[in-house]
Amino acid sequence: MDKMTESNHIPYKTEILVIGGGSAGRYAAKAAARKGAQVMLVDPGPFGGLCILKGCMPSKALLRSAHVRHLIVSELPELGLRLSGGQVDLDMNYIVDSKDRMIQDFADDALQGILNNPSITLVEGLFHFTGTHEGLISGRPVTFQKAIIASGTRIRLPHINGLESEDIMTSDDILETRILPKKVVVIGTGPVGLELGQYLHNMGSEVTILNINPEWGHGLDRVISEAYLDALRARGLSIQMGITNEWVDRTPEGPTLHYTHEGIEKSVPFERLLSAIGRIPDTHSLDLEAAGIKTAEKGIIKVLPTLQTTNPDIYAAGDVTGILPVLNVATFQGEMAGENATRKSPLPIPEPPVPIAIFTDPEYARSGLSESEAVFKGHSVVTGRIPFTDLGKAIVYRRTDGWLKIVANESDHKILGAEMFGPGASDLIHVIHVAIALGATLDDYQKILHIHPTFAEIFKYLIDEMTDAI
């Protein structure tokens, strides 16, 4: 490829070195290049990063097939529709191949965005620091004035007595498998566990999802959290929170997971165990100490509000900072780190509200502060809650599983946050997210007209109720 350097004999020298070609790294490199810097981006390959290759995009491609299959199998009768011929056959080879083609297109597009930038040199290789302003790329020396670490994360694996490596599947494995396991235990109820657990269930696997935490969504609204989990359970998922004393034994039929739940000893046989207990920063091979960079637990890189590390000439962005491992934060931090690396006096980065979502059916989403977070920050708040059973379009579409909660400041009615689950929540949340980001009040929002009937009317209905109550 043009712009890909392979010689190991001539030392590299660059103004800004970006480590990692994922979302944070690409945005950092482009931002620094826009400011006039000469940038070198080093990535071990394959190029694209977690979101494109093994995260956001491939999982949603698979979930689309799974959600449609569930609609056909489980929801057609209530719409007055009948499926002649019965069985919905799966073509897993086509599903995975189609996903792979889409992901390759995304990766190629991301690569071309870097290769076509005359201020960025892309180098494929493994990097580690050898000093405060130098390192090695697959054995070849490189010196830099500033650096940005955006090396992303790697999968954590659970430690359960009796569990063997061949029992475990990771999210990477699920995205590639063409023969689905018949019985799956999922450890973890975060986005990966719930999304891929529902994917497997909708495609025909028997799925049990377990978590050691007694509550889902610490600090979030309990009514909405429990209703959300109940909606997933109603669609066939077994979800149990607060388990303890996990261990595995084996019989000729296969492994069985034993655990305690609500004081009762339980067991579930499984073919594979999906580890969905999160990820940790992929910093273990960077030799951060050689660069004077300190880390916190699990390898998280400590950063200042400017995204500078303990080495002021080296920044970190994205999941390695441990701040919030979602793409919109990674790209935002990457851009800010890229700009700061070109400044003589770096600036503290803004802290905009962050929308997040879980792409189950129904979807979950939130933006801004929860009620407990707002109170912790010193706000006196007013709150409102409304179920989707009060929403006309939800009723006629037979999609009434859902709730919305809004948190506002009591004194000036400024909208501080929102939390919801329901059909299309990942898109709907942007309606209220814009209001939160622009500092709008309940009174401002109440003046907005909405199309009827729409799912977005749920915000108008709730805010009308809240302003009437105030």
Give the active site residues: 452
193 labelled ligand-binding: yes
The annotation status of 189 as a binding-site residue, yes or no, is yes
Q: What share of the chain is helix, strand, coil (3-state, %, to 5)?
A: 35, 25, 35
Rounded to an integer, what distance in angstroms lies between the CA atom of residue 151 and that of residue 24?
A: 9
CA dist 230 → 99, 233, 314 (Å)? 30, 5, 46
* Residue 192 annotated in ligand binding: yes
From the centroid of its chain, how far is CA 279? Answer: 11
The answer to whether the beta carbons of residues 465 and 391 sit under 8 Å apart is: no
Helix 191-202 crosses helix 56-70 at what angle (to 10 degrees)?
A: 40
Structure tokens that stand for 269 in this block: 């046989």
191 is in an annotated binding site: yes
Binding residue per annotation — 348? no
Per the CB < 8 A criterion, the answer to whether 423 and 455 are in contact is yes
The residues pairing with 34 across neighbouring beta strands, listed in sequence order, are none
Place of tokens 């037979």: 398
Question: If residue 105 lies in a helix (H) or strand (E), which one and from where to where?
Answer: helix 92-115
DSSP 3-state of 231: helix
Q: Which backbone phi and psi does 188 adopt, to 5 degrees? A: 125, 135
315: Cα separation from own chain's centroid: 22
60 annotated ligand binder: yes
Handedness of CA 144, 148, 150, 156 (dihedral sign): positive
The pair of three-digit structure tokens given for residue 273, joined into one six-digit string: 């165990």
| CB neighbour list of residue 17: distance below 8 Å, 6 or more residues apart | 39, 40, 42, 135, 142, 144, 146, 147, 148
Does the annotation place 368 within a ligand binding site?
Answer: no
DSSP run (H or E) holding 421 = strand 415-422
Annotated binding site: 60, 188-195, 278, 319
Annotated binding site for FAD: 60, 319
Annotated binding site for NAD(+): 188-195, 278
